[in-house]
Structure 1
Amino acid sequence: MTARIRKLVTVMEAVEREAGQVVSPPAVRVCCAALIANPFVGRYAEDLSELIEIGAEMGSLLARRCLDLSGLKPDAIQSFGKAAMVGEAGEIEHAAAALHPSMGAPLREVLGGGKALVPSSKKMGGPGDTLDVPLGHKDAAYVRSHFDGMSVRISDGPRANEILIAIALAPTGRPLPRVGGLTHDEVTGIDGLR
Structure 2
Amino acid sequence: MNVRRITTTVEELLIEGGREVTPHAEVAVVLAVIDNPWAGQGFVEDLGPRIEEVAPRLGALLAPRVLEALGKPAEAYGKAAIVGLDGEIEHGSGLIHTLKFGDHFRNAAKATTLLPAVEKRAPAGTVFDIPLKHITDATTRSHHQTVEARVPDAPRPDEIVIGLAAAAQGRPHARLAPLSADR
Conserved 8 A contact 1:125-1:158: yes
Identity %: 36
Taking structure 2 as the reference length, what is the TM-score of the superposition? 0.91
Deviation of the 1:108 alpha carbon: 1.6
Q: How does 1:55-66 map to 2 (within 5 A)?
A: 55-66=55-66
TM-superposed deviation, 1:51: 2.9
- 1:106-126 per-residue CA deviation (whole Å, 9 max, x = no partner) reads 112222x21111101100011
CA shift for structure 1 position 9? 0.2
1:51-109 Cα deviation digits (max 9, x unpaired)? 3442222222112111223433xxx2111100110001100100110110132111122
Q: Give 2:169's match in structure 1, choosing from 155, 167, 172.
A: 172
1:1-194 alignment runs, 5 A limit: 3-42=1-40, 43-49=42-48, 50-72=50-72, 76-101=73-98, 102-111=100-109, 113-181=110-178
CA distance in 1, matches of 2:52, 2:120: 17
The 1:95–1:8 alpha-carbon spacing in structure 2 relative to 1, beyond 3 Å, is same
- CA shift, 1:140, in A, is 0.3
User: 1:174 Cα shift?
Assistant: 0.8
Distance 1:29 1:69 in 2: 9
In 2, the alpha carbon distance for the partners of 1:133 and 1:26 equals 20
Secondary structure of 1:103's counterpart equals helix
Structure 2 unaligned runs (5+)? none
For 2:106 and 2:94, locate their aligned partners in 1 and report how far apart those are by CA, in whole Å. Answer: 18
Structure 2 distance, partners of 1:56, 1:88, is 24
Normalising by structure 1, what TM-score?
0.86
- After the TM superposition, which of the residue ranges 101-110 and 25-34 deviates more from structure 2? 101-110
Aligned residues: 177
CA distance in 1, matches of 2:14, 2:128: 24
Match of 1:187 in 2: none
